[in-house]
Every structure is written in structure tokens, then in C-alpha cells.
């Protein structure tokens, strides 16, 4: 995956500055959107010199890429924590848990309604800004990156062998989930509950042919 930082922060102070810039980026995405976002305003809000910004990020696209990756790691971390804390009776519980976590982040996490895992939306639910479907990696679409990480969780949790058919099925499930949940947030800014339920049912039924 493409590196998201021009250089890694070596000191705690630098790491804290990077986190502040990402936090302010997320807040500004909600307030003014991606197209009005400027590196100068992010630096001002984070209280760092503009030169410091460019030490770590090449431009605002690089900043948003780093935010998207942080979002993905946060999502996977929360899903893993919930799996560890819950007693999953069946793999379908994983579908429910992952979709609920994603929806919760859409509702509460700053900037997540505009940029979740890379694709930049003009408004919650879309449409997306052209060219942002490969924000995380120039060679792969964002959903392919997400599907690969979720495949790793699935294989570990269910102790099933890695298989090209399973890889393809999880990618299809991620694409379907993405499309239906975008619709849910276009219909209702908080995510239409009926459409979220339909999304869960769709994914469970589809994956039933591919998972034990």
C-alpha cells in the first residue's frame, strides 16, 4: 500500500502534531467539504507552521489519504475488539457486527461521512469526487484494500483456508455493502434503518454460499 506520510514522525511531539492535523482535517471536511479544504487552514487550526505540514504531507490529497488509512485501521481495530468481547455464535454475527460498527462511525466520527476509507464524497451518500476510488493505493481500488483486510479477519476468525473464490466473494460483499449503505445515508442523514437491515440480509444471504 502506498505510504501516506512523506516521513514518519520520530518524536512524540511530531506524532502529536500529525494527529492534530488529521483531527482538524476531519472536522473541516464536515464543516466545509473536501473541495474547500486547504492545507493552510488545516495547519492554522492544528496550530502548526505550514512548513511542518509539508514535512509530513505532500498536499491535501496526501493528508486525506492518511486520514482514510487511519479510519480503516480504527474500523478494523474496533471490529476486532468487538469480536474478542462478543460470543459469536455464527459467522453471520460478524456481518452484523461489522456493518453496525461502520454505520456507527458514519454517524459519530468526524469527517467519516465525507471520507471513510478513501473515496471522497461531495455529500453523505455520494456522489464521489472522480479519481478518489484509488486514494489508498494507486494500483488498487479502495474497496479492494478493505476487502483484503476483512478477508484476513474472516480467515483467522473462522479458520477457513484462503481461496480465490472466497477473496472474490468478500470483495463482492464489500462492494454491495458500500452501495447499499450509501443509499441508506442518501435517504436519511443518520442512515435509513430499513435499508441498513436490508444490507445485512443481502450480505448474509450472499455469503452463505461461500462460508461454512
* Cβ atoms 119, 128 nearer than 8 A: yes
Q: pLDDT tier at 182 (50, 70, 90 boundaries)?
A: very high
Nearest of 159, 163, 183, 160 to residue 171 by alpha carbon: 163
Task: Report residue 137: phi and psi, to 5°.
Answer: -155, 125
Alpha helices in 10-141 (DSSP H): 12-32, 39-46, 50-56, 60-85, 91-108
CB crowding 167-199: b at 16 or more within 10 Å, else e: eebbbbbbeebbebbbbbbbeeeebbeebbeeb
pLDDT, tens digit, 9 for 90 and up, residues 60-91: 999 999 999 999 999 999 998 988 887 777 78
Q: What is the reported pLDDT for 160?
A: 79
pLDDT in tens, 195-206: 999 999 999 999
According to the model, what pLDDT value does residue 3 have?
54
- State pLDDT tens for residues 158-169: 777 878 999 999
H helix or E strand, kind and range, residue 190: none
Burial 79-96 (b: 16+ CB within 10 A, else e): beebbeeeeeeebbebbe
User: Using one digit for the tens of pLDDT, what is the confidence trace for 92-126?
Assistant: 888 999 999 999 999 999 999 999 999 999 987 88
Amino acid at each position: 500500500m502506498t505510504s501516506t506520510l512523506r516521513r514518519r514522525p520520530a518524536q512524540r511531539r511530531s506524532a502529536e502534531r500529525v494527529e492534530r492535523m488529521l483531527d482538524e482535517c476531519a472536522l473541516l471536511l464536515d464543516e466545509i467539504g473536501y473541495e474547500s479544504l486547504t492545507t493552510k487552514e488545516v495547519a492554522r487550526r492544528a496550530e502548526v507552521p505550514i512548513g511542518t505540514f509539508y514535512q509530513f504531507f505532500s498536499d491535501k490529497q496526501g493528508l486525506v489519504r492518511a486520514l482514510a488509512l487511519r479510519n480503516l485501521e480504527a474500523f478494523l481495530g474496533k471490529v476486532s475488539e468487538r469480536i474478542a468481547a462478543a460470543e459469536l455464535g455464527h459467522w453471520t454475527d460478524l456481518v452484523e457486527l461489522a456493518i453496525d460498527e461502520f454505520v456507527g462511525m458514519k454517524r459519530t466520527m468526524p469527517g467519516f461521512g465525507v471520507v471513510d476509507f478513501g473515496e471522497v464524497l461531495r455529500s453523505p451518500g455520494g456522489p464521489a469526487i472522480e479519481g478518489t476510488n484509488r486514494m489508498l493505493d494507486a494500483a488498487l481500488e479502495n474497496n479492494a484494500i478493505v476487502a483484503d483486510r476483512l478477508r484476513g479477519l474472516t480467515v483467522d476468525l473462522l479458520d477457513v483456508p484462503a481461496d480465490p473464490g472466497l477473496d472474490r466473494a468478500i470483495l463482492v460483499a464489500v462492494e454491495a455493502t458500500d452501495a447499499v449503505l450509501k443509499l441508506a445515508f442518501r435517504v436519511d442523514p443518520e442512515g435509513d434503518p430499513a435499508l441498513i437491515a436490508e444490507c445485512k440480509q443481502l450480505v448474509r444471504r450472499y455469503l452463505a454460499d461461500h462460508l461454512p
